[in-house]
A and B are shown apart, each in its own frame.
Chain A
Amino acid sequence: MERRLRTFRLLPLLAGLAFALIIPLLLGRNQYAMVLATTVLVYSVLATAWNIIGGMAGQLDLAAFAYLGLGAFTSGTLLLRWNVTPWIGMFAGGLVAAAFAALIGYPLFRFGIKEVWYALSSSALVEVLRIAFLMWSNIGGPVERYIPFHAFSLYHMRFASYIPYYYIVLALLIAALAASYRISRSRLGYYLLALGQNEDAAEALGVNAQRCKLQALMIYAFLAGMTGAVYACIYGYIHPSFFSAAQSTEIAILGIVGGMGLVYGPLTAAILLVSLKEFMRANLGSTLESLYLAVYAVILILIALFRPQGIAPWIRNTFARGLARLQGGKDGARAASARP
């Protein structure tokens, strides 16, 4: 019988990967479709990275774009001032984000900040960074700092088409998934899961809560920071609005609604929901500008109310039941649909 929380079926994953690789070949001419696909991938990376601290360790972090923004500004500034290639800037951005995470994570976990208050702290943090960078005219400031345009420059990571960006972010996603998978099978992963389930019991079993949470936070921040560097290149500028509390919250919601703790849970939500949202934005946006957001919000609420375990477990169970029904009739279906 399969393991509940961290099942990672290799076959659908490889199929998904193959599909993802050929998407640009199918849609490449449609610029809008490529933008959509790349956006979905960016959210997927962030949500998958978020899962390490949010889904596994159970700390509701609402600061994904804080780390993304730091990565973007680090890489962007290095490029703009000293012509450092974003390929190096990515890692610098990741390190800066991770260092920042360590800086605020240490007191946060030392003081045992949890649950709601952790969530609110992190939300406030994004806003603090946004305002700070808005006022810091040397590095940030109210005006966008544009990254010079190149039709195709690997060194500057600037391309006229979205296709190269798509593959770069896809590589980041694979890295994030691989990292999540490795962690979920390791001591750190088990310790994080235990912390997320019951911190007291975990500590009584030798889990150093502070250290584990800090490690998880730093890994997540590093991944988000790297994504930020690419994000800056995609958008072609850096601006304090990158530090978005609303979008950070959205990442967490994708994680929650996708299925916390499952490696591919947030990924599922990101793919399904972000595609849906952007699709609606394109088609409903003309009538009433925010109608698509309202519909999106209603869908989120419905999922949270009626499928609190998340989309991914629901899909998996539906498949399991369907498969069992094909194989063994009603009894098989009943056995396979054990309550998640």
Chain B
Amino acid sequence: MNNIIETRDLTKRFGKNTAVQSLNLTVPAGSIFAFLGPNGAGKTTTIKTLMNIMQPTQGSATIFGTDSRRLGPKEFAQIGYVSENQEMPEWMTINQFLNYCKKMYSTWDDKFCHELIEQFSLPLKQKLKSVSRGMKMKAALVSSLAYRPQLLIFDEPFSGLDPLVRDEFISGVLNITEDKNWTILISSHDIDEVERLADWVGIIDKGLLKIVEQAEVLQNRFRRIELTLKDPIDIKHNFPENWYLPELQDRTVHFIDSQYEDRKSEDKIRTIFPNCSNVEVMGMSLREIFVTFAKKFRISEL
């Protein structure tokens, strides 16, 4: 099976509001897929629909080839799910909680679980209700990793965590998944953190999926360009469609090239701006690419 998750025209409406519209998404096996988007973009709704927490209004989704509406114990035994929104049995101690989860999975690995407990320094005797949010998320992560699921789904796992805990969390996930070739779908609006993990990126905004691409390819084709011109020109008139967010300051032009190719792009720039004296090409982080998209979506709406 090449794709662990597939959606086909997945739509979810709440009354008149459309949270997710005709979403077509594939998450390849073994990938770490960053599902990005601003708050309210439809990430959590998509994940909840995938997990059969909600029913799609239209379209369909499959996980391991099973329709999301038919996901049952057999499929959930292979899925690890950690979400900022998930309620936990707070009256239990962490030890009770892990023991409770252990009973659900035939593949539970005690040794691995103890390694994770040590790695995350979990206070086993404390009740979930009395530990910090970060510790709770770590406990949830351990309970979702210890049975070695084939698919991990993280829904905004870093929300509300302090940077140190966030770093521990990410390092933990990276360490564990490095060798295992697990598939991970991670949704976040905090791109900086996801950048270290993701090899695929999907960007959603207002329920519409804007981009699905390998992170490396995306980062390779996006460049921040800075030109210095000899004479001022009307930049709007001359810009191609794949050049985003053009800005002119004195004789300096900034824009983002979304289809950057070493020679071709520079040739194109020189064709459009024959009087440019200097071209500076800068690589972009995922965060910058995401912000570019966010600004572009906003402008196109206006």
Do A and B pair up? The answer is: no
Chain A interfacial positions (CB closer than 8 Å to B): none
Chain B interfacial positions (CB closer than 8 Å to A): none
